[in-house]
Chain A
């Protein structure tokens, strides 16, 4: 067990996952990741490149990945904006890479070194075009370490960019971390080419798992990689059927991730009030659940570790018994829209959003929860609220 910062654990996790290339550009509050990688990579036979900007950082990462190295970059909001172009490239060309975004307050230069969860929608929709993203959200220093290993496993196995999204608090706080070396099965690997080199070789050939078996450059195969829509040979095409099929395959490939990452469900067996929260807000909400339970409120927590693609079925099942769902996030209400989309229309979904650079506190969530019965009955929505001990239930169901 070692005491370390989330950003340091990020670098340690990457090294443990076999990452051997880092291309990055300094930005708060992620810079410690680059600094740690600059220290760790040469010792581990890897390469650290400080690039001229964020576009170059991720470009170099993708180039190194095509050369066969596990590769990553780390940044914060403004840099994440600049990287969107290459995240889209990595997705379409199917070159694995891991992108860490340690969120700070935005928009624009915003609030350097103050926490935020404002990049949640950007992580999915920031790059142009139709694309489903893979985004992990660790809540502790230990999870940062573990999720880096998981991010590389998903990225390498599925040949897609994976974003690890956490906020400044998780990045800078110090906790004890178990730095266990992952066994082989947790590392994953790129699918090996299915056929020997030939003129008819199809690097993007179809596979029942939807994952192409693309070789690395310099391994005896000659082939073309492009950010244009392409056929199975990797050649550019504007054939509408081929393009539609490519987009369909990419989508199916990404949705597989839903079943690969577990969901945290805490005290949800009999919960009528459910918090949905991720990252550091998830830990705040978990503490709030304990305090509310001590006061007789049947509260629970659903904490997604995978923000994108959204695990619709898992979340719907976890929230099936809840009457009121409070989505607590450090923004003006982003992921709450996904929860609204998923849950039964009779369930009341409320947003507890907090922007401005301060974390959500446990007290705030407890007060909010306890004020709900009165607030909702004054508003006359969602119907009659029935007191049940210190808390209430129903209401929302009947209103539907």
Chain B
């Protein structure tokens, strides 16, 4: 099949931001019967859920044809709060379930919500293979750099030196750059954002949904109860401010503001990470290479105007 060789990198057509989601209408997509939620005060996941709901409420009348699939962990629990076809699977395997579901029902929009322990540690193999196959689903990975639900143990995203309940002397293992990993594995849309800037996340999430193929949005969020507390970062707002330092420009503005309390840990717990749209390319989706009818065409990626500027514009 000649088409399989198509792999064109697409120039970003515009630096203009895509339409910014209108916040406010998202509550209608909330599964009220499931409340109260189980997120801790100050947890960044609620901000991400809110932004996801905003984008979804902008795009859908209802979520009858939207399946949201999650693994195990705090991040994965947020799908239960969305009034969609929601599937809470096993630890690390949501992409497997989602791949089967998408191949069975290519007409459904399938979104995966996972975390860093779920998606990169126990589910790392599934993540790279989903990216390799370019299955047409959108994966949102909430990266709080720790195992929150099980009590704050180190994850493969915990940076060197950080304190967790299993690294009382400071983390001795190097961490993954998750977005780079997924990009290298063949994902055709990769973006990184943070819960500090939910509107930027919303913009990237919306573009990821538009993108046909495996689209990946990593969102840096914070675990106040474990990562924040154990590393003496402060509380929710302090953690959000520390996230601001992912952006060098903001970081410069915040030069006078301390980020990490002076503790014995000499490691830079918050390295500066590139955010925004990191990668976009186009190739046939898994549905197309398997000749499964009923899905979207990767051709529609070719003329879409996208924004890679999602930094200070918002």
Contacts and interface: CB of A to CB of B under 8 A. Distances in A.
A52 B87 contact: no
A114 interface: no
A86 B93 contact: yes
B243 to A, nearest CB: 29
Contacts of A52: 125-126, 129
A63 B98 contact: yes
A225 B87 contact: yes
A217 B80 contact: no
A218 B90 contact: no
B65 A218 contact: yes
A56 B88 contact: no
B264 to A, nearest CB: 39
A53 B130 CA distance: 12
A62 B108 CA distance: 16
Interface in B88-106: 88-90, 92-93, 95-105
Interface string A224-250: 111110000101100000000000000
Contact of A23 (B33, B83, B100): B100
B129 A218 contact: no
A181 to B, nearest CB: 23
A21 interface: yes
B210 interface: no
A49 B102 CA distance: 12
Contact of A66 (B31, B64, B101, B126): B101
Nearest to A21: B104
A55 B88 contact: no
Contacts of B104: 21, 47, 63-69, 71
A222 B64 contact: yes
Contacts of A49: 99-100, 103, 290
Given A85-B90, A89-B90, A222-B64, A63 B100 contact: yes
B16 interface: no
Interface in B59-101: 62-65, 67, 69, 80, 83-90, 92-93, 95-101
A51 interface: yes
Contacts of A57: 96
A63 B33 contact: no
B45 to A, nearest CB: 16
B100 A64 contact: yes
B100 A217 contact: no
Nearest to A197: B64
Identify which of A53, A55, A59, A64 gathers the most chain B CB atoms within 10 Å of its CB: A59
B250 interface: no
A82 to B, nearest CB: 11
Contacts of A62: 89, 97, 100
B105 A59 contact: no
A266 interface: no
A23 to B, nearest CB: 6
A199 interface: yes
Interface in A15-49: 21, 23, 42, 47-49
Contacts of A107: none
Interface of A: 21, 23, 42, 47-49, 51-53, 55-69, 71, 85-86, 89, 199, 217-218, 220-228, 233, 235-236
Q: What 4 pairs between A and B have smallest CB-CB spacing? A: A59-B96, A67-B104, A63-B100, A60-B100
25 contacts: A21-B103, A47-B104, A51-B96, A55-B92, A55-B93, A55-B126, A59-B93, A59-B97, A63-B98, A66-B87, A66-B97, A66-B101, A89-B90, A217-B85, A218-B64, A218-B67, A218-B108, A221-B85, A222-B63, A224-B31, A224-B87, A225-B88, A226-B87, A227-B89, A233-B33
